[in-house]
Amino acid sequence: MGVSTKTIVITGASSGIGMQSAINLYSKGYKLILPCRNKESSIKIQNVFKDITNSSKELPSTPILNLSDLSSVEEFSKTITKQIKCIDVLILNAGLQYTGCKHPHKSDQGFELTFAVNHLSHFLLTNRLLPLLCKSSSARIVITSSEVHNPLSPGGRIGKPAHLGKLEGINNKKFFCHLDGTQEFNADKAYKDSKLCNILFGRELSQRLLNLNLQIPVICWAPGLVIPKGKGGFFRYSRKYNQLGQLLFAWIARDILHITESLENSGRILANIATDIKYDGCGFHYLSNRLIYPGKYQLEKGVLSMEAIDNNLASKLWLKSCDLIGISTCIRI
C-alpha cells in the first residue's frame, strides 16, 4: 500500500508532539485524521496546514472528539466508521496533566479527568475503531506513554510513585481520587498512574489481538522530557496551578541543564514509530527516548516497571475498563 493511500488517526495533534508528528507525516503524503476537542481547535489546525502547503493537496480532516466525554468518543467513532473504509495507523497521543491542582477534576461521566482522558477514552476509541484497523494490510497502534510509569525511573522517583494496587479505585458506583483507592488527591500521581494504564492496556490489547491471530503491532513509547518554549505544549495545563514553578523548572531543565528533548525531534520520532517498516513485527513493544547525556537522547527498548509487566493486573484493568464504559470485554471486529 502506497503512502498516499494510508490513513493515520492521531489524537492530541492540536499542539506539542502530536502536531509536530502530524506535520511530518503530512509532508510525506499520508492521509491524516486529526480529532480536535472543539471547533476552535479544529479551525486552528486547519489554518496550520493551510500555511504549510503550497498546493491543492488535501488538508487533514479535523473532526470533533472531546476525550473528556465518552459520548463524544462514541459519536466520533460512528461517524468515522461511516466515512472511511480502513485505518492503517492509530496513534493514541493525547494526554492531560494538571499537576499542582489540589482537587480532582471530573470528566462528563464523573471519572477523574486524567484517567478519563489519558486511558478510558482511548480504550473505548481503540475498541470502536478496531474493525477499521483490521481492514488494513499493515495496521499499527501507537500509544504515547511515559517513563514516569516506572517508580525506578528518574521522573518516576520524584513525588508519589505510580501504583494501581488492586484497582480498588475503579468502581462505577463511587468516585475515588486514585485507581488504588486512595482519596487524598495528587495530580502528579494521577498522571503517572494513567501512563501505567497506557502500558497495561497496550500489553493486554496486544495479547488479545494475538489470540485472534490478528497481526497488529502495539507500540508504547516514552518521548522523554519535552518542554518547548512558549505557552503551548504538554505543560500548559499545569502552568495554571503553578506558573512560576513551571517556568523555573522549564528554564533550568531546558536552558541550563539541557536535559529536555526538542519538540521537533519528538514529533519526528513518533512519525517514524508510526510508519517505519522495522516496527512491523506483531506483538507488544515498549520504546523509550532516553537521555544519554545532556543534549543527547536515544530511542531504545525501554524498561517496564514491575506493575507494568503484571499480566493479571493488565487483564483486570481491561475488564474493569469495559465495565465502566459498558462495552463487551471481548474485542469486536
Select from 121, 117, 189 the least CA-distant residue to 149.
189
Q: How far is CA 333 from CA 96, 206, 217, in A?
A: 29, 14, 16
Residues 249-255 have a mean pLDDT of: 70
Given phi > 0 = left and psi -120 to 50 = alpha, else beta, which region is 58? Answer: beta
Determine which of 18-22, 225-229, 254-258 has the lowest per-residue pLDDT on average. 254-258
Q: Dump pLDDT digits (tens) for 285-327.
A: 999 999 998 988 999 999 999 999 999 999 999 999 999 999 9
Beta-sheet pairing, 284-293 with 296-301: antiparallel
Q: How far apart are CA 36 and CA 278, in angstroms?
A: 30
Give the pLDDT confidence score for residue 244 in this predicted structure: 65
Q: How far is CA 188 from CA 66, 193, 194, in A?
A: 22, 9, 10
- CATH class in words for 3-325: alpha beta
Beta strands in 134-194 (DSSP E): 140-144
Question: Catalytic pick from 30, 191, 237, 297?
Answer: 191
Q: How far apart are CA 94 and CA 66, in angstroms?
A: 11
* Cβ-proximal residues to 172 (8 Å cutoff; 6+ apart), any chain: 323, 324
Give the pLDDT confidence score for residue 238 in this predicted structure: 47
The three-state secondary structure class of 295 is coil
Q: Dump pLDDT digits (tens) for 147-172.
A: 999 999 999 999 999 999 999 998 76
> Would residue 191 show up in a list of annotated catalytic residues for this protein?
yes
Q: Estimate the crossing angle of helix 121-133 against helix 311-325, to 10 degrees.
A: 90
Q: Dump pLDDT digits (tens) for 266-284.
A: 999 999 999 999 999 889 9
Q: What is the pTM of this model?
A: 0.93
Residue type, 140: R
For the chain, give every domain's residue range: 3-325
